[in-house]
Amino acid sequence: MSSSPRAGCLPRIGGALALDFANSTTGRGTDHFVEHLFDYEDVLRWSVFNEVLTPEAAAALQARVSPDEQASAFAAAVRARALLNAVFDALAHGRPAETRDLDTLADLAQEAWRTAVLRSSGPAYAWRFEPPDARSDGLLGPILRSAVEVLTRRDLSRLKACPGEHCGWVFLDLTKNGARVWCEMEVCGTRAKLRKRAERRRAGPFVKTRSGV
């Protein structure tokens, strides 16, 4: 049974599905690391909340997938997330992504495209993909395609990491002037303001000397 209180309600602040999946942990690389996905059920709950799966599809998938398949699919999801963390964390901090990580992502994305077909869609044609509930790990397909889209179609100068204490969530700054700083102003932004206010109070009142300095 799921043990995560947040798997099905993590804020969707990334601006892309792959970034929100990367943000299913908090405080990466710190002593305050927090995991939000503990098992396959958590991944399904996250997928429903992020509209990768319908609630009915998730329930049917969980019912028909064996415990061993669930464990394998969960392990694949964790590996994919670690890969996305490595790539996007580097880029959000102004560093190039490691070539080996990009190669691994390309291999996984190619597998996600393997079953894609071209079909008529109104006046043009469009790619149609295998349903994300077709296989136990099928829900990774939309996430991996989203990751490639971020890397190839988005302005990566707008990819940022929240500087909030023990946060590190990544997001695309979609504001007009590119001035977004926090994952959520009302969370990390407010905490930072409260910390600064507390620091000023601890420093004590400003006392002038006789010279007025």
Q: What are phi and psi of 5, to 5 degrees?
A: -80, -10
Residue-number span of the structural domain to which 56 is assigned:
17-203
Q: If pLDDT is split at 50, 70 and 90, which confidence band does 190 have?
A: confident
Share of the chain above pLDDT 70, in %: 88
Split into its structural domains, the chain has a count of 1
Type of residue found at 58:
A
212 domain-assigned: no
Cβ neighbours for 10, distance < 8 A, ≥ 6 positions apart: 20, 23, 24, 36, 46, 49
Looking at the predicted structure, is the pLDDT value of residue 213 above 90? Answer: no
3-state helix, strand, coil in the chain (%, to 5): 50, 10, 40
pLDDT of residue 50: 98
pLDDT of residue 99: 98
5 domain-assigned: no
3 domain-assigned: no
9 domain-assigned: no
Q: Can you give the CATH number for the domain in which 44 is found? A: 1.10.3300.10
199 domain-assigned: yes
Q: Which H or E run contains 101?
A: helix 99-113
105 domain-assigned: yes
pLDDT, tens digit, 9 for 90 and up, residues 57-112: 999 999 999 999 999 999 999 999 999 999 999 999 999 999 999 999 999 999 99
* pTM assigned to the model: 0.89
